[in-house]
Amino acid sequence: MQHFQEIEHTADWAFRAQGRDLAHLFANAARGLFELQGSTGTGETTTVREVAASGKDHETLLVNWLNELLYLQETQQETYSRFEILEISDTHLRARVHGHPNRPEGKLIKAVTFHGLEIRHSENGLQATIVVDV
Amino acid sequence: MVQVSQHLWEIPRSFRDDMRVPARLYADEALLDAALGDRSLDQLVNTATLPGIVKYAIAMPDIHQGYGFPIGGVVATRLPEGIISPGGVGYDINCGVRLLASEASVQEVSPFLAELASILYRNCPSGVGVHGEIKLQDAELDKVLVDGARWARERGYARAEDLQHTEEFGAMPGADPEYVSHKARERGRSQIGTLGAGNHFIEVDRVAEVFDETAAEHLRLLPDQVVVQIHCGSRGFGHQVCEDYVARFQTTVRDYGIELPDRELVCAPFESVEGQQYAHAMACAANFAFANRQVLAHRIRRSFEQALDGKVSSFDLHQVYDIAHNMAKIEEHEVGGQRMRLCVHRKGATRAFGPRSPGLPDDQRNIGQPVLIPGSMGTESYVLVGTHGSMEQTFGSTCHGAGRVWSRMRAKKTVRGQQLRQELESRGIAVRTGSMPGLAEEAPQAYKDVSRVVDVVARAGIGKKVARLEPIAVIKG
């Protein structure tokens, strides 16, 4: 299964993430977020951070999770490439993210939006189309 | 779609059951085709469903697809029952443009242009998340959030005339840092005086053409004069304020029984506790952006000194104006023969108040508010003034730029940053950038023709052309 795919959007960026279940979808969406910014997703990781997010439903939880990662990226000047979802419910998530100092090399994403966001069932499990502000 | 006049099209209320008002688009036929090429008109129709909206959901000729609201949209809601929407302002709250005009001519500056461009690039940090040399402790950050560019004046980064020539005189009223999250503070703390990335830039231009000599004289603009545009906003601080309230309002809309066609349109009644909290936080972000552009203006003045002192006899930069193009503001306008208090959302649209409107500085009152319309990178830009027509038709608003037509993905695939840089440099434009793919995404081919956009607003009477600018140096994140 391709974990994410960039799709056309006039002003900003959009990508479709897939996963066999909610935890897998959330981890793949996070990989997509960083790979779109030029992170290769490989190489040694030297920093580990615990991340928690909450939201009233799966979509809000997904947006808050990804925005939390962007917040860490910007304030800690780090790039993340491996995402372990330790716990996930309908409204909460706890994860461990692995990365390294330095920002991704490509163009950076400012924020993840709710635009047209819906987590849908697909043949491979779940998918979501995510529009980001760049 | 019905053609109302030569440059105005209307999608009637009957188009969709949930529309509260018709939607209107300013365009000629080519720009109409461009708008039909993506989902921007669907997004415009979605905004026509917002509670309290009056007259029309309006799209400017530079409209393009955004998220939630289209970029290039104006939505005014009637107070007290109307809503305020963080998505109607956008993530980069008070993204805007500032224009500084030098006493020097292009002939005087040209021999030192390469050095000037390099010094500007060095003195004005760029890129998302880049930190500047000013790191603010809490008490001083609060002053920035409340006082905006007035804070910069106290710190020696501004002249009195800079504040006079800034929308809201450099400080949005109603700012209250209590409604700003810890995260927004952390992101903003060290980003004052930084440019950011995306389509943000500093551009050195020459005045290539003057259309209205009286207005140009008021603005102290002359043919062949060197001018500088700054395009940026509230950086990570504004993004976080928007994120915080878009997430929070996901439940607020349910509490107020507001049904919406897109979750990014979430909103709250302006007078509600939640609506007021966002308005207070948004004003803080707006002031952060005014202060940010002010510090950049100071650095640009310093860069001119470093590059030109002893080489050019006079090069001082005065501020022509500073405008916001992502903002919601409380204004009074006439609707159906009645004066109404409105919350006017301009997302990718510019305030364009006509002559003798309130809120204009004394020396610009008779010509109308200056409007700064940057073109795409390497192409021309325009200085306009607001008109009586913009007051009557569009809540005192006009376009904000060229407007994208290509996705960033298509631009990246089609254009190579290095080649684009060479093309620009072969036309005598100095280019300084930290990111070649970023440069490619902003290629002129990815945008509409700004001259066509400006012609439409001028012919429709919602803006009057004063001057045309041509670039001589581009500094990008």
CB contact under 8 A, A64 and B247: yes
Write the residue in B236, B251, B266 that is nearest to A74 by C-beta: B236
Query: Residues A75, B182: contact at Cβ < 8 Å?
Result: no
At B145, give phi and psi (nearest 5°): -70, -30
Strands (E) in B294-423, as ranges, are 317-324, 326-335, 338-347, 350-351, 370-373, 381-385, 397-398
Residue of B44, B67, B95 to mutate when probing chain A, most A C-beta within 10 A: B67
* CATH number attached to the domain at A4-133: 3.55.10.10
Question: What CATH number has the domain bearing residue B327?
Answer: 3.90.1860.10
User: How distant is the Cα of A34 from the closest Cα of chain B, in angstroms?
Assistant: 14
SS3 B403: coil
The predicted pLDDT at position A124 comes to 85
User: How distant is the Cα of B224 from the closest Cα of chain A, in angstroms?
Assistant: 33
Residue of B47, B135, B243, B442 to mutate when probing chain A, most A C-beta within 10 A: B243
CB contact under 8 A, B406 and A10: yes
Helix (H), strand (E) at residue A24: helix A22-36
Residue B339 lies in a domain: yes
CA gap B82, B228 in Å, rounded = 38
Q: Is A114 on the interface with B (CB under 8 A)?
A: yes
Q: Is B435 on the interface with A (CB under 8 A)?
A: yes
Residue B87 lies in a domain: yes
pLDDT at A133 over 60: yes
Under the banding of pLDDT at 50, 70 and 90, the label for residue A106 is confident
Domain ranges (residues) in chain A = 4-133
Q: How many domains does chain B have?
A: 1
User: How distant is the Cα of B90 from the closest Cα of chain A, in angstroms?
Assistant: 9
Say how many C-beta atoms besides its own lie within 10 A of residue B31's C-beta: 25
Q: Is A47 on the interface with B (CB under 8 A)?
A: no
Q: Is B405 on the interface with A (CB under 8 A)?
A: yes
Q: Is A71 on the interface with B (CB under 8 A)?
A: yes
Residues of B forming the active site: 400
The predicted pLDDT at position A11 comes to 65
CA gap B465, B370 in Å, rounded = 10
Q: Which residues of A touch B187 (CB under 8 A)?
A: 71, 74-75
Q: What angle do CA B299, B400, B14 make, to 5 degrees?
A: 155
The predicted pLDDT at position B129 comes to 59
CA separation (Å) from B454 to B214, B285, B384, B471?
19, 29, 9, 17
Low-confidence spans in chain B with pLDDT less than 70: 127-131
- Tens-digit pLDDT profile for residues A31-82: 999 998 888 767 788 999 999 999 999 999 999 999 999 999 989 989 999 9
CA gap B134, B137 in Å, rounded = 10
Residue B45 lies in a domain: yes
Would you say the pTM of this structure is higher than 0.90?
yes
Write the residue in A57, A71, A114 that is nearest to B246 by C-beta: A114
Q: Which residues of B touch A71 (CB under 8 A)?
A: 183, 186-187, 240
User: Can you read off the two tokens belonging to residue B244?
Assistant: 């915080």
Range of the domain at B457: 2-405+447-476
- Start-to-end CA span in chain A (Å): 27
The predicted pLDDT at position B118 comes to 95
- Tens-digit pLDDT profile for residues B321-339: 999 999 999 999 999 999 9
Query: Residues B367, B439: contact at Cβ < 8 Å?
Result: no
User: How distant is the Cα of B122 from the closest Cα of chain A, in angstroms?
Assistant: 19
